[in-house]
Structure 1
């Protein structure tokens, strides 16, 4: 009996060791989003709501109360400049294309700030098909297709069971009438997060296009998470973010080399920008 128990125990240990060894990659991926560097932001950016890389270790940032673009210097760890483009309002997304900046207001009004670094930049506006009930918090450059992308946080104007990705044509300077792609709120990838009202299952707070892969990275700030869509806009990954590190992720952007930055509103603490890596 003793020999049998010892043999059984040994076999069990060998099987367990093999299982764990063969699944190291699985266990590592339980927390695949790693913070490399953190920049604590000043009070002026307490409600930082959007980011865009502009080069030379600098980011354009906005916060959701003032018509101001903040130029933040990562190397110097300070706000280098503040650019006024509009009245106070609920501004949620920012994207820089060459010398021009674009800012999305939550009611779907897009601001084009021409030659934003000029002393007195000119501003134009374009109304999307969205309104306050849709609540737009996202904006990103899709350089390959010469357009800006955005998605509603709340109700989609076409279907409450999707979050559509919509676009602004940078060549024609017009909102495109058709959605680029739908994200199905009843997709199996969202099963764990499913809500009674499906539009609350995933509530985008910002998005960015990966400069190397063309994949679309979309944040949620309400229940911190990050989803990655492949180039066909199918859901590739869903990552839950640690709320201790990502209290309220509201901004996301990439450098041309693929460095990934995520900003967090203060949410009772200190606003910050994280540079992160994903395994």
Structure 2
């Protein structure tokens, strides 16, 4: 009996380990677009003022300066990569500012209710921006977090995070404006709709929809890169807005992805809002040769 108990004492830890790993859920696998490695980013931790960073952009793709906003203060921040010291210009009152774009010589900032704010890029170095124009009631009622500006066509694209009818139709609404720099006017230039039904059916996104949190375009392929913080994924769509691929994001790397942009070297940047445990950050993914 003693011999049996002795053998059991040796075997028991092994059996416990076997049982533990047998019950442990399979490790989630995360893929990346073929020219980027989402598992090994270069991370830039934000200062406290950008704990809730919500949008990022570059001026003509130049990566020497990152422009960003956060979703509580009407401030446009600027700083060099890796340098926490930043400066800002005030462009508005407190509000829920979600994304920004720099269209040639014009800064465009999106508030969550669909209101846009435009001002000359030259004002971005001033303590308080001047020549600000506010564009209210140009979009249907809804919640908006994604804007992209095309430098060649002067067209501005906006995605609706939450618009009436999208959930029932399993679609996502988008709207296009053309900016006239001479007259400083935004001209409505059409709309489009993304079909999300297959993603809902396959369980890749929630039944409530994609809930886009940021948008940019690959300037070479014309593919759209759309972030969804709620669904923790990056969706790539073709120029026709048809879904091409979906990449699940690792929440330990992408805490709350809210901003996305390419630089002129085709490196990809994704910003994450901070939370109770981690600071806001920007992740840089170098394009593979």
TM, length-normalised to structure 2:
0.77
Matched, 1:106 2:116: no
Deviation at 1:121, TM superposition (A): 2.6
Partner of 2:88: 82
Deviations 1:198-225 (A, max 9, x none): 4x22110010111221111000111211
**Residues 157, 278 of structure 1: CA spacing in aligned structure 2 closer, same or farther, 3 A cutoff?**
farther
Per the alignment, do residues 30 and 88 of structure 1 end up closer, same or farther by CA in structure 2, a change over 3 Å counting?
A: closer
Match of 1:170 among 155, 172, 179: 179
- Structure-to-structure mapping, 1:135-214, within 5 angstroms: 135-156=143-164, 160-161=168-169, 162-171=171-180, 173-176=185-188, 178-179=190-191, 181-188=192-199, 191-195=202-206, 198=207, 200-214=208-222
Find the aligned partners of 2:151 and 2:39 in 1 and give their Cα distance. Answer: 27
Contact between 1:52 and 1:59, CA under 8 Å: does it hold in 2? yes
Take 2:46 and 2:65, find their aligned partners in 1: how far apart are those partners?
14
Report the 3-state secondary structure (helix = DSSP H, G, I; strand = E; otherwise coil) of the residue aligned with 2:93: coil
Q: What residue ranges of structure 2 are gaps of 5+ in the alignment? A: 1-28, 33-37
Shift of 1:178: 2.8
2:43 is aligned to 38
Quickly say closer, same or farther: Cα 1:237–1:260, change in 2 above 3 A. same
Q: Is the 8 A contact 2:88 2:125 kept in 1?
A: no
Q: Cα RMSD over matched residues? A: 2.2
State the TM-score, normalizing by the size of structure 1: 0.80
Mind listing any 5+ residue stretches in structure 1 that lack a counterpart?
Answer: 1-28
Figure out how many residues of one structure are paired with residues of the other and give that number.
244
Quote the Cα distance in structure 2 between the aligned partners of 1:149 and 1:47: 23
CA distance in 2, matches of 1:53, 1:239: 24
CA distance in 1, matches of 2:81, 2:44: 8
Deviation for aligned residue 1:137: 0.6
| CA gap 1:36/1:92 in 2 versus in 1, 3 angstroms | same
CA contact (8 A) 1:148 1:169 kept: yes
Q: Which of 254, 260, 267 is matched with 1:252 structurally?
A: 260
Give the alignment partner of residue 64 of structure 1, picking from 62, 66, 71: 71
Larger Rg: 2
SS where residue 203 of structure 2 aligns? helix
Q: 2:242 is matched with which residue: 223, 234, 252?
A: 234
Cα offset, 1:94, TM superposition: 0.4
Aligned to 2:123: 116
